[in-house]
Amino acid sequence: MDTLLVGSEVPRVDGLAKVTGKAVYGDDIIMNNMLYGVCRYVDIPAGRIDALDLSEAEKVPGVVRI
């Protein structure tokens, strides 16, 4: 095999777009009816959840599902 992969130069075709702020990233894309998801982790490393009251969170405008 004559091709050297490790240590060879890679053309940076997106360099100009990145340094000028014109590059498009996944977070820049907006679609119709797009939703955002958030993961919430517990503050206590060990324990058990006996009950969870989501009623106030469900009232927040824009919340679709918890």
d(CA 53, CA 30): 32
33: left (phi over 0), alpha (psi -120 to 50) or beta: left
Query: Which domain does 22 fall in, by range?
Result: 13-44
Cβ neighbors of 24 (< 8 A, separation 6 or more) are 17
**Structural domain includes residue 7:** no
The pLDDT tens digits for 23-48 are: 999 889 999 999 989 888 888 888 88
d(CA 66, CA 57): 8
**Structural domain includes residue 23:** yes
**Structural domain includes residue 63:** no
- Looking at the 3D structure of the chain, how many domains does it have? 1
At residue 1 the predicted structure's pLDDT band, cuts being 50, 70 and 90, is low
**Structural domain includes residue 51:** no
Instruction: For the full predicted model, state whether its pTM sits above 0.85.
Output: no
Cα within 13 Å of Cα(33), Cβ side: 1
**Structural domain includes residue 62:** no
**Structural domain includes residue 24:** yes
